[in-house]
Amino acid sequence: MLSRHDILDSLLREIQITRHLFGKVPEGAMDFRPSEGQRSTLELLRYQSFCGLGGTYAMIDGGWDRYGALSSASESLEPDGVLSALDAQAAGLEEVYGAMTDEAFSTQEATSPRGETMTLGKALLEHPVKWMTAYKLQLFLYCKLAGNEEIWTPNCWGGVDMERPKG
């Protein structure tokens, strides 16, 4: 059975990979956006700097006040503040999950952004974990689209540099 510790580990892993990919953003590409109306790289990183913790708060609280406060705070982040914000998010997640009981994880009701009711554990998997995973992949693609031709699968899914096999 999936535990709150598994969800926390997954979120922390996504933060670690996001930190790795931050270092793969090509020089001058923080303002890159694939098309008009899409987030820039920096805007995407700002979102990633809080969405795991903000989503966790929203699922626990049944409201979006703390999520909104984190979102507002992220709007002024410059590139040099993103890594610190990711670290703060990781610390916040460790605190929240450390205080969460197994009973709350498996029995507390949570409401999704679409109004669906589910257990807190399922809501945390369906929302903050999937948001962090999806936007990490988007960051990887932005890096590639902005000109980083060196990164590949291990960078995206493992957060590591690895030599490509020859042949």
Q: How many domains does the chain have?
A: 1
How many whole angstroms separate alpha carbon 73 and alpha carbon 150?
A: 33
Does this model's pTM top 0.85? yes
Write the CATH number for 97. Answer: 1.20.120.450
Cβ neighbors of 49 (< 8 A, separation 6 or more) are 74, 77, 82, 85, 86, 89
Residue 166 lies in a domain: no
pLDDT band, very low/low/confident/very high, at 1 (cuts 50, 70, 90): confident
Percent of the chain with pLDDT over 70: 100
How many whole angstroms separate alpha carbon 165 and alpha carbon 38?
A: 34
Residue 84 lies in a domain: yes
Residue 167 lies in a domain: no
The 10s digit of each residue's pLDDT in 38-82 is 999 999 999 999 999 999 999 999 999 999 999 999 999 999 999
The 10s digit of each residue's pLDDT in 141-150 is 999 999 999 9
The 10s digit of each residue's pLDDT in 120-139 is 999 999 999 999 999 999 99
Which of helix, strand or coil describes residue 163? Answer: coil
Residue 32 lies in a domain: yes
